[in-house]
Every structure is written in C-alpha cells, then in structure tokens.
C-alpha cells in the first residue's frame, strides 16, 4: 500500500530549473513520487510526518560511475594497468554469487549513508547485485564487465541473461544496461555487437573511455585511432550511453560526444589517485555535454562519499586552471543529482512534483553548517559542496520509501553486512590467481 509522507519545516533545496530553495519548506510524497513542494502548509491527516526542523531536504545523489568493490585499501599503491592486472581482475574473476551479494550490500550501504540514492554499477554476478539492491532499497543501474573471451570476464551473453532476469525488478528500481570494460580488452566486433544487443533489448550502454594516456596509445596502436573515435565508428556513443572518465579527450572527441549526446561521468578523485590526469571538464561543459559525477570504486578512491567527490571536482579544476570562478557550488550540485539522473534516464535528481521521491535529509546542527544565514541559498549550496561530508546525512528515501532513518538502516542489519563482506573478501583472496609480473602486459 502506498504511503503518504510529509517532510516539513526544512530547507528544501529543489535543484529545479528556477533553483528554488524553500526555507521552512515542505515536501509531500505520495507513493514513489513527489506530489508537492513549497512553503505552504498541508494537511497531515493520514500521513507519516517527518519533522525536518531546519535540516536540509535535497534530492538524492546519483553516483554515475560505480563499481561494487571488496578490496578497499588492498594493493592500491600501483598505477592503473598494474593494479588491474595484479589485483582488480584477479579479484573479480574469483567472485562467487554470494561474495558479490555481500560486496554489493557493503558498497551500497556506504553509499546510502553518504546520501546516494542511485548507483550506475558495472561489476560481475549482476543477479546478485540486483538482489542486494532490492534488499537494501537503493536504485541501481547495473551492467556486466564485458570483454573479449580471452580476458575471462563477462560476455554479452552474460549481460543479456542478467537483463532478462533482473531488468525492471524491485518495482522498477533495478535497470540493466550493456557494459563494456574498456577498449584494451575489446574488439571492434565486440563493440558493434554490444550496440546491437543494447538496441535489441531497448537499453543503454556503460563504458570506460579515454581513462588514461596508456589507453589512448593502446587504442592508436590496436585500432589506428583514438578510443572515442573507435567507439563512435562502432555505434557505441549516443544519448543512451554513459562514458566514464574521458580524461584525455581531444577537441575532435569532445565534438563527437556533443554530436551524439553521449553522457560523461567525471570521476576526479579516482583519476587523481591512479595518476591518470585531470579531465577537460570546463571544455566538456562549454560544449553542452551532460556531465555527472562518480566515485568509481573504493579501491581507487577509498571512499564512496559523493560529498567529497563534489568538493574535489570544483577544487581540482580551479587549482589547475588558476581560476576561482570555475564550477561554482550550484553547478556542482546539479552535476551530482540532475545530470546523473538525466544520464540514466530516471525521473529523479530534483525535488519537483512528478519526480521520483529519492530524497536525502541532511543534519545542519553541526560545525559543517555553522554559521548558516537564514534565507541565503548560496550559503546552503556552499556548505553542501565545500564543507559537508557524508556523515551529515541523517535520513534517506528511495522511491518514496524510508531506507535509512536517523542514521540507522531500516532494511538491513548493518553489522551483519560488514562481517559477511569481510569474510567474503578473505574467501576471494584465497581463490585469486595472480599472473606473474612478466605476464602482465605493460600499458601503452
């Protein structure tokens, strides 16, 4: 039975087209949708009332490039290619369905605690990830880690099977798209087949693209042109495609992204930690490309906190361009909410009537939000992007359902999840087969 929920007396950050912020505002939820937003009081008869009492009420964050992960902090001292070959790929090749389930619950629980209501997750054992997402209550767009057969990851047949098993499950909260690991582990035929499968299934594509200079050089040697040019020629790009990273886009590749209306996930923390560089975000935005934000994976970020990603996004570009006018707080908030939702084709990312009721309540009674000038929305934006971290999140609703309230999960036993995830990691370590150093192909 649908529940009517009224969140009242909050600082309602709508992120709508007008940028409205309602101080002392109200949000009315009916079923899985937002029914009303504004300043006026409404009847609470028959409704569940959540008193915000000056807390910020905002759209849930969308983590646009995500990998469920088990091995945070494990062997993370290596550059990208060596890390992938000696740690990441051996771990995901050793995953069992049970291990993937607990890894996903641990990953999604940290994300929810940090205000994330939607993840765009590329991993393996997708059916287990879908079960975890359904259990905890998060919205999840899932894709398989597809590569050519010799790399012993997933196939397009695996992806099609996952789509048929789980797409649309959890009352529509689970969506399955076609995933491509990256061009060094792909062929042009695989890319063309991936587009054909996405078209056949009526779904989208999630791909890593132009992540490192080594990838660019590898693509030029293997295919005779740059990664985005290959993806364009094979039909991968389009308004249903999310391209992750895009650190080393040329002017021509930015033009291809704009022409095809491909969405980009900008992952600055991961790019920095792996030494992959700094993407040309100002140029992407100037070209009119829709860019959202992602944390990538806990192994190459060590945190799933999207508040940290928001801050890092603004600071790293201001520093490298020597320009404090870049990427102001309201734009960053939109990237982390509306832009990500638009990229995934979900009706969320803002607090407006008719949108999905994916809502986060942020506690302002702490040092992060002190001082806070009443009626000053720029002050609210600034604190959310530059002062806050995930610990300020108090309550989370997904699809109109409370999944995390007063810093406690409603849907899972958090302690059990953490214990089981630790056990799963140790089991996976015992099954890992790490290639000898001379067998790992050198990047570029």
Determine the Cα–Cα distance for residues 190 and 196; give it in Å rounded to an integer: 10
pLDDT band at 434 (very low <50, low <70, confident <90, very high): confident
pLDDT band at 443 (very low <50, low <70, confident <90, very high): very low
| The predicted structure's pLDDT at residue 1 | 46
Digit-coded pLDDT (tens) for 277-286: 999 999 999 9
Which residue is listed with tokens 């992602």?
294
- Res. 80: pLDDT tops 90: no
Query: Are residues 306 and 358 part of one domain?
Result: no
Query: Does any domain span residue 204?
Result: yes
- Res. 265: pLDDT tops 50: yes
Mean pLDDT lowest among 65-79, 312-326, 368-382 = 65-79
State the total domains in the chain. 2
Q: What is the CATH number of the domain that holds 404?
A: 2.30.40.10
Digit-coded pLDDT (tens) for 384-431: 999 999 999 999 999 999 999 999 999 999 999 999 999 999 999 889
| The predicted structure's pLDDT at residue 43 | 86
Across all residues in the chain, what is the average pLDDT? Answer: 94
For 251-400, strand residue ranges (E) read: 263-266, 291-293, 296-297, 359-362, 393-398
Determine the Cα–Cα distance for residues 296 and 137; give it in Å rounded to an integer: 21
| The predicted structure's pLDDT at residue 198 | 98
- Can you tell me the mean pLDDT for 66-75? 87
Query: Are residues 356 and 242 part of one domain?
Result: no
| The predicted structure's pLDDT at residue 437 | 52
More confident residue, 91 or 289: 289
Query: Are residues 253 and 123 part of one domain?
Result: yes
| The predicted structure's pLDDT at residue 88 | 85
Residue 51 DSSP SS3: strand
Question: ω into residue 228 within 30 of 0, thus cis?
Answer: no
Calculate the CA 304 to chain-centre distance: 9
Q: What is the CATH number of the domain that holds 291?
A: 3.20.20.140
Query: Are residues 340 and 246 part of one domain?
Result: yes
- Res. 169: pLDDT tops 90: yes
Share of the chain above pLDDT 90, in %: 86
| The predicted structure's pLDDT at residue 192 | 98
* Residue 367 structural domain: 4-59+350-409
Query: Are residues 340 and 356 part of one domain?
Result: no
- Res. 312: pLDDT tops 70: yes
Query: Does any domain span residue 211?
Result: yes
pLDDT band at 436 (very low <50, low <70, confident <90, very high): low
| The predicted structure's pLDDT at residue 440 | 44
- Res. 206: pLDDT tops 60: yes
Residue 314 DSSP SS3: helix
The residues that bridge with 56 in the sheet, in sequence order, are 11, 362
Digit-coded pLDDT (tens) for 90-99: 888 999 999 9
């Amino acid at each position: 039975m649908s529940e009517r929920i009224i969140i009242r007396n909050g600082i309602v950050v709508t992120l709508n087209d007008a940028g409205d912020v309602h101080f002392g505002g109200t949000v009315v939820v009916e079923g899985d949708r937002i029914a009303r937003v504004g300043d006026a009081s409404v009847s609470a008869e028959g409704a569940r009332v959540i008193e915000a009492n000056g807390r910020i009420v905002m759209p849930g964050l969308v983590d646009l490039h995500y990998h469920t992960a088990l091995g945070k902090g494990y062997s993370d001292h290596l550059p990208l290619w060596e890390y992938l070959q000696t740690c990441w790929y051996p771990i995901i090749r050793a995953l069992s369905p049970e291990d993937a389930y607990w890894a996903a619950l641990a990953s999604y629980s940290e994300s929810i605690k940090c205000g994330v209501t939607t993840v765009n997750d590329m991993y393996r054992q997708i059916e287990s990830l879908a079960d975890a997402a359904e259990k905890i209550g998060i919205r999840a767009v899932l894709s398989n880690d597809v590569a050519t057969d010799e790399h012993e990851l997933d196939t397009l047949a695996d992806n099609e099977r996952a789509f048929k098993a789980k797409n649309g499950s959890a009352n529509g909260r689970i969506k399955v798209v076609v995933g491509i690991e990256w061009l060094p582990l792909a062929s042009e035929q695989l890319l063309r087949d991936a587009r054909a499968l996405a078209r056949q299934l009526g779904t989208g594509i999630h791909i890593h693209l132009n992540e490192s200079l080594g990838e660019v050089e590898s693509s030029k040697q293997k295919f005779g042109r740059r990664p985005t040019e290959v993806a364009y020629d094979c039909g991968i790009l389009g308004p249903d495609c999310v391209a992750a990273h895009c650190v080393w886009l040329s002017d021509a590749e930015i033009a291809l992204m704009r022409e095809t209306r491909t969405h980009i996930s900008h992952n600055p923390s991961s790019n920095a930690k792996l030494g992959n560089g700094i993407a040309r975000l100002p140029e992407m935005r100037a070209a009119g490309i829709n860019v959202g934000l992602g944390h990538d994976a806990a192994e190459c970020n060590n945190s799933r906190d999207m508040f940290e990603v928001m801050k890092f996004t603004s600071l790293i570009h201001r520093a490298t361009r020597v320009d404090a006018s870049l990427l102001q707080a309201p734009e960053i908030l939109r990237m982390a909410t509306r832009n990500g939702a638009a990229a995934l084709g979900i009706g969320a990312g803002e607090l407006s009537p008719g949108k999905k009721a994916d809502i986060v309540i942020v506690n302002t009674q702490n040092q992060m939000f002190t001082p806070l000038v009443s009626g000053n929305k720029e002050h609210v934006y600034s604190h959310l992007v530059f002062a806050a971290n995930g610990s300020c999140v108090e309550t989370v609703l997904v699809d109109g359902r409370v999944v995390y309230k007063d810093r406690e999960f409603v849907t899972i036993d958090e302690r059990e999840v953490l214990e089981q995830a630790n056990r799963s990691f140790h089991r996976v370590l015992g099954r890992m087969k790490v290639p000898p150093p001379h067998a790992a192909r050198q990047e570029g």
